[in-house]
Amino acid sequence: MIKVGDAAPSFDMKDQRGERVHLADLLLAGEVVLYFYPSDFTPVCTAEACAFRDNYDGIAELGAQIVGVSPQSSSSHERFTARYDIPFPLLADTDKRLIRAYGVDGPFGIGVRRVTFLIGRDGVVRKRTIADFSVSGHLELLKSVL
């Protein structure tokens, strides 16, 4: 798993609207909060996305970005963002390439761990939170940006 001080693996993927999202482009504007989650529409994942949504305006005012990643399809992410008014990109990592690059796949490659990274403008991981069944540590990382 990628640690604090490591270079964040780059990515160029499509979000729920089919738009390309490049890590390098995001970093031009500011820090990136990149979070990995197991699945759309599950209770903890929904709570996490909604907590990030509720803090989105403050993060955006600082020039920082929030990006979510899970192995569901773009169409699942599109329904999820529509239902919960999620204003940030959700990347469909259906082949788990990015999930593996960050080392956040579950034991024996099954599932996805709930991990949030704060990536500095220089592309280096500044903070990391791992909490598979709780949102509070992830929200604390987000609030530390504010």
φ, ψ of residue 22 in degrees (nearest 5): -115, 130
**Identity of the amino acid at 101:** A
Mark residue 41 as left, alpha or beta (left: phi above 0; alpha: psi -120 to 50; beta: remaining).
Answer: left
**Identity of the amino acid at 11:** F
Distance CA 60, CA 121 (A): 14
Q: Please confirm, yes or no, whether 50 is among the known catalytic residues.
A: no
Set 33, 45, 59, 112: catalytic member: 45
Residues with active-site annotation: 45
